[in-house]
Amino acid sequence: MKEKIGVYVCHCGGNISDYVDVEKVRDVVEKEEGVVLSKTTMFACADSAQKEIINDIKENDLNAIVVASCSPKLHLSTFRNVAERAGLNPYHYVQANIREQCSWAHTDKPKEATEKAIRIVRASVRRVRYSEALKPFTIPAANIALIIGAGVAGMRSAISLADMGTHVYLIEKSHFVGGRVAQMGELFSTNEKGEEVISKLYDEIKKRDKIKLFTGAELGSVSGSVGDYKAQIKIHPRYIVPDCDMDKLKEAISECKTEMPDEYNFGLTQKKAIYKAYENCKPEMPAIEKDAFNPDQKFLEKYKDCIDLEQKTETLNINTGTVILSTGFDPYEPEDGEYGYKKAENVITLQQLKRLIELSNGKLEYNNREIKNIVYVYCVGSRQKEGENKYCSRYCCTAAIHAALLCRKKFDSVKGFHLYRDMRTYGKYELLFDEVSRQGDIFFRFNEDESPVVETANGKLQVKFRDILTNNEEIAIEPDLVVLVTGMVPRKDSGTVAGILKTPVGTDKFFNEVHPKLRPVETVIDGMYICGTCQGPKNITESITSSLSAAAKSNSLINKGEIELEPTIIRIDPEACEWCDKCAEICPFDSITKTEYSPDGQKGKTIAFVNESTCKGCGMCAPVCPTDAIDIIGYTNNEIESMIDGLIKEV
């Protein structure tokens, strides 16, 4: 046990000392067994304070330290580095959180906050007495990244990784890259077409030998651990003969009689069963929707040099050091009858309006009727009082206003009426709100408890609502078109991907990062990152920013050819373990398997084996072990029990 412990209690510039009596904390804790030095400091993380701690460790021959300050999420590595610079093993350091857990949580009760701080620091002192000198271990890592999803985030991440020297496998479930961005038409802020953005990114990808792009590809399985993941990719056929005569293929498309709703235009138009996502899509090679394709034998014989319905799904097995998820989003699909959707005529979504604008020339028409007045209903599928989507989708307000501006620009006579709960055109997008207001669009604000009612009355489309801005006056509008401003929801297949990778999702069903501020693109699975709209609603700029962050994180982890991992994992006592399989069943990371244990040449017995590279030290296995054969390094029974003793002792 450690008998020369130094304790430092931080004022945090008043964040702690305004509510916690730090001098009293120091006075009580310095009486603890093993404490030979106890100090208060204004800012423990300041360079001057760090130098003082280093000098104290050297001059007093301290063999353990405790810093009572803020959350370990902020400065654990800071003070571990301080210990290491002083020649002390960094795992002989414990950080006690008395800011978030005491001063900030109990600003109204300073006396109780001080007592709680004393107990927390005392527990930390007792824990550090049992600390072990640990050393991170290294494992080999392949400088290869797998990116799932070739939308703007996935493609930009691939380009960035390739430029940093990492080999990239980029897979896209669709036969065409670009995700949702190509469907958006003209984009706000740049006025660039979505498909133009996709084409530029695709061209950059084709220039880089380090990027291998697979379309029509989906993740089948993943095994292994960080640095050495083994992924199985299923590549579905296009049913088009490679290097076929493109003129003859175009002829086949024109003669194809099978049509189906075109999802690229959100069902506004039809497409052939032999199709391209859109005219200038990438890659340019068409694909066949085999389930809908029903040609006769004469057609197949005529175009046998272009069409091959016997093509099979191929399996690609790859090794990768990291995985980046960029699976994107789906637009919210309103329920039948929600604001008249699919019940009243001329009720469409914002995504459909954007495609309608792109498809229309001269005048805006829907259902063979010219559109002069549009009512936009905001927060459809977002901020739901009753429903799953309680979050704000963030981009919708700006997207709706931009669509209204496009209508004004392309069709002079179209007027907009905007029914909103709160207008969230954040940042510079406030300028769009100002512009559309000056051009004559009218904004009404409704209460969430009294949503607008969309119905058909006397053969006419009608929207009724109460406007907060005019003392809840009831207003009725008879528009030509109602546009439901829908939010973002996770991709329908994101749950399948999450199940394969074991990456956690939040209550909103988007992929979860470790911390939105400190580790915004990392997941709890080492070597797996998220970017773009698969982790929550974002605009294109924000998606690309997160993709660059994920690329930088991924490259920094694997570019040295080896990875250093935390040693705070579980440890099995082979003498006590009887292999009951309970630990393996409960482990969320599949880190525990069975092995043979044969000490001193004796007859072996089956015990648990821990894969150090995948174990996260979460501790879920420890309480289910009937023989108490599992300890968590850094949180052993001795450490935890001593902390409990320190917490319950009277102040």
Render pLDDT for 344-373 as a digit per residue (tens, 0 to 9): 989 999 999 999 999 988 889 999 899 999
Q: Determine the pLDDT at residue 601.
A: 59
pLDDT of residue 393: 94
- Count of Cβ atoms closer than 10 Å to residue 547 Cβ: 29
List pLDDT tens digits, range 18-32: 999 999 999 999 999
**Tens digit of each residue's pLDDT (9 = 90 or more) over 118-156:** 999 999 999 999 999 999 989 999 999 999 999 999 999
Cα-based angle 216, 220, 223 (whole degrees, multiple of 5): 140
The neighbour count for residue 605, using CB atoms within 10 Å, is: 14
DSSP secondary structure string, 553-601?
A: HHHHHHTTSEEEE-S--EEE-TTT----SHHHHH-TT--EEEEEE-GGG
247 SS3 class: helix
- In 458-561 the beta strands, taken as DSSP E runs, fall at 460-467, 473-477, 481-486, 488-490, 528-530
Range list of H helices, 61-109: 72-85
Six-digit token pair at 165? 């020297």
pLDDT value for 178:
95
pLDDT in tens, 429-453: 999 999 999 999 999 999 988 999 9
> Cβ(575)–Cβ(606) under 8 Å?
no
Q: What is the CA radius of gyration of the chain?
A: 31
Distance CA(289)–CA(286), nearest Å, equals 10
Per DSSP, the three-state class of 250 is helix
Q: Are 165 and 559 in contact (CB under 8 A)?
A: yes
Please give the full DSSP string across 425-463, using - where no structure is assigned: --GGGHHHHHHHHHTT-EEEE--TTS--EEEEETTEEEE
| Count of beta carbons in the 10 Å neighbourhood of residue 533 | 32
Mean pLDDT (the chain) is 94
Q: In what order do the strands lie in the sheet with 35-41?
A: 35-41, 5-10, 64-69, 93-97
148-192 pLDDT tens trace: 999 999 999 999 999 999 999 999 999 999 999 999 989 987 889
Of all residues in the chain, the percent with pLDDT exceeding 90 is 86
Domains of the chain: 5-134+641-648 (3.40.50), 144-236+313-328+491-558 (3.50.50.60), 246-302 (no CATH), 332-489 (3.50.50.60), 570-633 (3.30.70.20)
- Lowest model confidence (mean pLDDT) among 77-86, 198-207, 384-393, 556-565: 384-393
Count of CB atoms situated within 10 Å of the CB of 388? 11
C-alpha angle 170/172/176, rounded to 5°? 120
Q: How many Cβ atoms are within 10 Å of 601's Cβ, its own excluded?
A: 6
Its pTM stands at: 0.85
Q: 261-273: per-residue pLDDT in tens?
A: 999 999 999 999 9
By the 8 A CB rule, do 506 and 496 touch? no
DSSP tally for the chain: helices H, then strands E: 15, 34
Is residue 603 scored above 80 in pLDDT?
A: no
The alpha carbon of residue 246 and the mean position of all alpha carbons in its chain are separated, in whole angstroms, by: 40
pLDDT tops 90 at residue 70: yes
N residues, the chain? 651
Residue 612 has pLDDT above 90, yes or no: no
* H/E run at residue 645: helix 637-648
What sign has the CA pseudo-torsion 293, 297, 303, 307? positive
**pLDDT for residue 545:** 97
Beta bridge mates, 594: 608
- What pLDDT, on the 0 to 100 scale, is given for residue 190? 81
Q: Please report the pLDDT score of residue 589 as a whole number.
A: 85
Four-residue CA torsion sign, 613, 510, 492, 168? negative
pLDDT given for residue 602 in this prediction: 65
CB 167 within 8 A of CB 141: no
Which residues have a Cβ under 8 Å from the Cβ of 222 and sit 6 or more positions away?
229, 230, 231, 232, 323, 500, 501
Strands (E), 280-428: 287-288, 314-320, 322-325, 329-331, 347-349, 365-366, 369-370, 373-380, 415-420
Q: Which amino acid is at 41?
A: T
| φ, ψ for residue 142, nearest 5 deg | -80, 130
**Residue 457 bridge partners (DSSP):** 460
Exposure letters 122-146 (e unless 16+ CB within 10 A, then b) = bbbbbbbbbbeeeeeeeeebbbbbb
pLDDT digits (tens, 9 = 90+) for 310-330: 999 999 999 999 999 999 999
pLDDT attached to residue 388: 84
What are the residues whose beta carbons fall under 8 Å from the beta carbon of 603, sequence distance 6 or more? none
pLDDT at 495 over 80: yes
CA dist., res. 553 & res. 275, Å (int): 38
C-alpha–C-alpha distance, residues 158 and 143, integer Å: 13
> Rounded CA gap, 99 and 181, in Å?
44
Q: Residues with Cβ < 8 Å from 565, sequence gap 6 or more? A: 136, 137, 138, 139, 226, 526, 612, 613
- The kind and range of the H/E element at 411 are none
Number of CB atoms found within 10 A of residue 31's CB = 9
